[in-house]
Chains A and B, each alone.
Chain A
Amino acid sequence: MALVEVRNVKKYFSVTKGIVESLMTREATYVRAVDGISFEIEKGEVLGLAGESGSGKTTTGRLCVRLLRPTEGEIIYNGKDIATMKGKELRRMRRRIQFTFQDPTSSLNPRLKIGDAISDALKLQGIGSADERRGRTDEILERVGLSPASSFYNRLPHQLSGGQKQRVVFGRAIILNPEFVVTDEPVAMVDVSIKAQILDLMMDLKRELDLTYLFISHDLATSRHVCDRIAIMYLGKIVEVADRDRIYEDPLHPYAVGLMNAIPIPDPKAKKAEAVPRGEIPSPINPPSGCRFHPRCPMAFEKCPNEEPELRDLGNGRQVACHLYDN
């Protein structure tokens, strides 16, 4: 059984209107950030979630840890639906599920010592005495490579480099011994020379603590180095899911093909082959009819604007939502 199973989850954000507009129309408008997605994550797996800004990746991640409550659908974690959970039950469940935010600088309180930032999670969950919490925090600091712990505990975030701050963020995520961690663009803000250092830390923690990751990243080159499977999102929908190597070597969905072609390759001899899709991602308030990618799709035919393709299983763990692969 999968550790996390997302079933037909939707998240709509309502759009506030001006007074005139609200008198004119009765209908509420929504940003359909996530519009009916389903996927599974097996225990011990790293699932990559890729796509452009505005495709709903971060919203999906936040739904999985219940920082947001889905408008519709079920999120089954370890056999239990957490989509509607609340109160104490939700708080207890949070010990098992953690989230790391994109920007380490803005996700750490600049006036809180990093040791306290890490141990706060224990305090909030009411675990241990002050001494025990301190001991556990030191252990975590060492584990994420901020050693010796005693010299790091009392530092403030501005006294750390970007890579070290990202280590604190991971320390804070693992102190409650979670089993599932959603990590949102962990290397987007760090310099290339230390990117690998953070990815290595992530993978070491995964091995030592038996973690499962949902890895959100727009950087497909990085995703290829860490993920087992990759799901590609476009405008609130999942358009393709496949094993890492397969999706890079032989993407099926025309959007996935375009995305792969657009990745800058650090090799001057590899000349850009195909063209990338024209235009930009449309607004999720009024998504295009039928297949949402059809206005930009080079392969679109008459069925595409009229009928929405479903995410279909093609076998071999491969799923694609495109009319080219019907039947």
Chain B
Amino acid sequence: MANLLEIQNLTVEYKTRRGTARGVDNVNLNLEENKTLGLAGESGCGKSTLGRSIMRLVPYPGEVVGGKILMHLHHDVPYPKGVISKGIVNILDLNEDEIRALRGKEIAYIFQDPMTSLNPMIKVDKHFQEIMKAHDPEIEEEEIRGRAYEILDGLGISPERISDYPHQFSGGMRQRVMIGLGLALRPKLLIADEPTTSLDVIVEAQILEEIAELKELFNLTMILITHNLGVLAQTADDIAIMYTGRIMEQSPTELLFEDPLHPYAKALLESVPDVQHPEKKLSWIPGAPPDLIHPIPGCMYNPRCPHAMDICKTTIPDLITVDGGRLVACHLFRGD
């Protein structure tokens, strides 16, 4: 299968008064078409920054300082002043008009908090109109309604509710509206940033199921960003584990859970409570992640790592391929 997205040596920096922090540090990532990639890690590991840089929406004072984000476009994308021709484009080279044409149309982003991502002053149908009109000024109201009905119906929201305000919806329903808005223009790539984190388990399970159905229906490629490894076990094809802005391991989901390679991935999995195995002794990782404004040399995990060697304190391990398709950045593995 071809890659829909290739990220090469991406680096994002946040310039703060205290100094410069690397939110994303030299990340390489390939995303195959029609697959779901899980992006996991603790708070502050750079998973949201990475997701947002694909949309070119890194918040100030963050800035992409290097690398490429290549996206494969299957067809020409027109915009008011011209056309982005099909083929491979570097998202970071696009001008503001061009990236706006891609946002929503080719790449959609579902933000973490449905409570603050909808405009409280306008009704849900207006949200749909704004998105669709931005990309197709000539579109008829009738058609907008028709499409919005279809999408909301698929998400289990009765179409009459389209003329309600966001505050009239529950948290789960709001998140469904967000997903519906994300899919309104049939994008190829959907980036979901903690889509179920603020929701209850039952609603979470419902929404994950609906996302999986919509993924089939619309042939989506997905990046699912979450700190909850339990959610990824059920939904992702591959999982990338991030720490201090770097990718530590990227493996097919089953292999990662069965036999994690990187010591950090292993420790993280050992700390996840498993309802089916109450006898599992939960462990934790001693210490805390380093301050990214004062990064430490070598592998940033070395002070917390039980296998740390001398080389770990001096040299940053490369992300290398082992065991066929798995990627790991650790000196314990020397590659095939």
Q: Are A191 and B42 also in contact (CB < 8 A) when A221-B230, A262-B204 are?
A: yes
Inter-chain contact B275/A221, CB cutoff 8 Å: yes
Q: B40-73: which residues lie under 8 A (CB-CB) from chain A?
A: 42-43
| Chain A residues with CB under 8 A of B271 | 192-196
Inter-chain contact A195/B278, CB cutoff 8 Å: no
A324 shortest CB reach to chain B, Å: 20
A264 part of interface (Cβ distance < 8 Å): yes
Question: How far, in whole Å, are A260 and B278 apart by their CA atoms in the complex?
Answer: 14
Per-residue A-contact encoding for B143-179, CB less than 8 Å = 1, 0 else: 0000000000000100000000000001111000000
Inter-chain contact B230/A245, CB cutoff 8 Å: no
B141 part of interface (Cβ distance < 8 Å): no
Inter-chain contact A264/B268, CB cutoff 8 Å: no
| Chain B residues with CB under 8 A of A163 | 288
Inter-chain contact B273/A265, CB cutoff 8 Å: no
Q: Which residue of B lies closest to A195 (CB)?
A: B271
Inter-chain contact A192/B272, CB cutoff 8 Å: yes
Please tell me which one of the listed residues B201, B209, B233, B254 contacts residue A266 in the complex, with CB atoms under 8 A apart: B233
A interface residues, tally (CB under 8 Å): 43
Inter-chain contact A268/B254, CB cutoff 8 Å: yes
Inter-chain contact B202/A52, CB cutoff 8 Å: yes
Inter-chain contact B205/A261, CB cutoff 8 Å: yes
Q: Are A268 and B288 also in contact (CB < 8 A) when A220-B201, A221-B273, A263-B201 are?
A: no
Per-residue A-contact encoding for B66-86, CB less than 8 Å = 1, 0 else: 000000000000000000000
Q: Which residue of A lies closest to B42 (CB)?
A: A191
Chain A positions near chain B (C-beta within 8 angstroms): 52-53, 161, 163, 191-197, 199-200, 218-222, 224-225, 244-245, 248, 258-272, 276-278, 280-281
Q: Kindly list 7 other residue pairs between chains A and B, CB separation below 8 angstroms, not including A52-B202, A191-B42.
A: A218-B201, A220-B275, A224-B273, A262-B201, A262-B202, A264-B234, A276-B206
Chain B positions near chain A (C-beta within 8 angstroms): 42-43, 156, 170-173, 200-206, 209, 227-231, 233-234, 253-254, 257, 267-269, 271-276, 278, 280, 282-285, 288
- Cβ contacts A to B, 16 pairs, < 8 Å: A192-B228, A194-B271, A200-B284, A218-B201, A220-B201, A221-B273, A225-B280, A244-B278, A259-B202, A260-B275, A262-B205, A264-B201, A266-B229, A268-B257, A269-B254, A270-B276
Nearest 3 CB-CB pairings of A with B? A264-B230, A196-B282, A262-B205
